[in-house]
């Protein structure tokens, strides 16, 4: 039977990477973007809508007779602030509930919900974090984590009631094809452009966006109903990420602040970003994340889905080459290596 893939958040970093990954010669592909956004990938049927307004989403689900419909829900707001704003909850929680309700109504073949590792309680620093079956916003820290935990439980409850749904939990996403302002891509870009005032001692589990996209499609194909799958890689220090970027694209030496000093300097770093009219990368929540337990195991996804993340060096190289071709970075050292990109 023919397949129709519906990707929400189609212009987002992960959403557009999934669209690039799907074989569009064999499948019908629909992408949901916000009114006013520009569609830019060939072979995709774009629909304008807002996940907080279910009446705008119906055309996305209609006229799929004779086709199995797979929905991958990536749309959401990523926040590195502590609080749960009204808009954050409307989009991440309310928007997910609207998608779940429409998936039930239109009897889709499968829903893949893109949650986050942040929805999983951190546990002790020495503890290896694996998939869990119940989520609560009261057990996690930060506005984004709380909304993703609440939305994840909505999806799992629907799966218990019969909806063929699975959940994936990506770790910190990095990689090419970002046009939506990914915080990690901004970090690398600002460093290469000399706009990053300092590096912070700390790190996280960073994963290539293309591996997460592949993991989403594998979950659609092989995931078990009502199950969760962590799509992670491994821990990398921020200073090591920037060191790799420096060897590829150049960059000046910048101070590495110990965490206690970074927390003291957070108001200054935030103000500096505001003066430069840029989003702050170092907030109380992002600094907390860089010292949190990130020992995520993707063993389940590897065994059941065939998920395999790549080395981060390739990710950083391809990210920089993509930014070069997009005109975001000047040539310089990158220009001489541009033929080595795999993206």
Whether 246 is in a domain gets the answer no
- What is the total count of domains within the chain? 1
Do 120 and 74 touch, CB atoms closer than 8 A?
Answer: no
Give the separation between CA 47 and CA 39, rounded to whole angstroms: 9
Residue 191, in any domain of the structure: no
Question: By mean pLDDT, which of 9-18, 160-169, 269-278 is the weakest?
Answer: 269-278
Rounded CA separation 221/72 (Å): 12
Give, rounded to a whole angstrom, the gap between the first and last alpha carbons of the chain.
31
Label residue 31 by pLDDT band (50, 70, 90): very high
- Total Cβ atoms within 10 A of residue 339: 6
Please report whether residue 238 resides in a domain.
no
Residue 35 in domain:
yes
Query: Where does the pLDDT of residue 333 fall: very low under 50, low under 70, confident under 90, or very high at 90 and above?
Result: low
Q: Which residues make beta-bridge pairs with 229? A: 168
Query: Taking CA 307 as the corner, what is the angle to CA 305 and CA 309, rounded to the nearest 5 degrees?
Result: 170
pLDDT of 342 strictly over 60: no
pLDDT bracket for residue 58 (50, 70, 90): very high
268: in domain: no
Residues 57-67, mean pLDDT to the nearest whole number: 95
201 within domain boundaries: no
342 lies in some domain: no
Task: For residues 250 and 236, give the distance between their C-alpha atoms in angstroms, rounded to a whole number.
Answer: 19
Mean pLDDT of 9-16: 97
pLDDT value of residue 260: 85
Domain presence at residue 146: yes
Each residue's pLDDT tens digit, 178-237: 987 788 898 999 899 888 888 899 999 999 999 999 999 999 999 999 999 999 999 999
Measured N-to-C along each axis, helices 143-160 and 95-105 cross at an angle, to the nearest 10 degrees, of 20
Residue count of the chain: 343
In this predicted model, which residue has the larger pLDDT, 128 or 84? 128
Kindly indicate the confidence band of residue 339, based on its pLDDT and cuts at 50, 70 and 90: very low
pLDDT given at position 274: 75
Handedness of CA 326, 332, 335, 337 (dihedral sign): negative
Give the number of other Cβ atoms within 10 Å of residue 63's Cβ: 8
- Can you give 108-137 as a three-state secondary structure string? CCEEEEECCHHHCCCCCCCCCECCCCCCCH
Which region among 60-74, 160-174, 190-204, 258-272 has the lowest average model confidence (pLDDT)?
258-272
Give the CATH number for residue 101.
Answer: 3.40.50.720
CA 338 – CA 188 distance, rounded (Å): 17
Domain of 91?
2-176+207-231+296-305
């Amino acid at each position: 039977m023919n397949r129709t893939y519906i990707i929400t958040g189609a212009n987002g970093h992960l959403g557009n990477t999934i669209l690039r990954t799907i074989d569009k010669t064999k499948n019908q592909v629909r992408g949901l973007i916000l009114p006013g956004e520009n569609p830019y990938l060939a072979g995709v049927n774009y629909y304008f809508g807002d996940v907080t307004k279910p009446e705008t989403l119906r055309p996305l689900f209609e006229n799929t007779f004779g086709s199995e419909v797979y929905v991958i829900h990536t749309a959401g707001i990523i926040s590195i602030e502590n609080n749960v704003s009204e808009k954050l909850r409307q989009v991440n929680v309310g928007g997910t509930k609207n998608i779940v309700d429409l998936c039930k109504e239109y009897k889709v073949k499968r829903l893949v919900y893109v949650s986050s590792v942040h929805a999983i309680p951190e546990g002790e620093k020495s503890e290896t974090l694996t998939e869990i079956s119940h989520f609560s916003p009261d057990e996690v820290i930060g506005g984004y984590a709380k909304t993703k935990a609440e939305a994840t439980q909505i999806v799992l409850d629907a799966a218990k009631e019969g909806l063929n749904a699975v959940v994936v939990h990506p770790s910190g996403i990095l990689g090419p094809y970002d046009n939506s302002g990914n915080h990690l891509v901004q970090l690398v870009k600002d460093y290469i452009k000399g706009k990053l005032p300092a590096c912070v001692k700390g790190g996280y589990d960073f994963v290539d966006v293309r591996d997460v996209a592949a993991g989403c499609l594998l979950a659609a194909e092989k995931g078990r109903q009502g199950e969760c799958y962590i799509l992670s890689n491994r821990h990398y220090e921020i200073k090591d990420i920037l060191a790799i970027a420096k060897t590829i694209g150049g960059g000046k030496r910048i101070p590495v602040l110990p965490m206690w000093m970074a927390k003291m300097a957070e108001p200054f770093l935030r103000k500096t970003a505001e003066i430069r009219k840029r989003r702050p990368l170092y907030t109380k929540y992002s600094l907390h994340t860089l010292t949190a337990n990130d020992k995520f195991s993707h063993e389940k996804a590897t065994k059941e889905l065939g998920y395999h993340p790549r080395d981060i060096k390739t990710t950083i190289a391809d990210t920089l080459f993509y930014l070069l071709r997009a005109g975001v970075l000047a040539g310089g050292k990158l220009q001489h290596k541009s033929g080595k990109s795999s993206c």
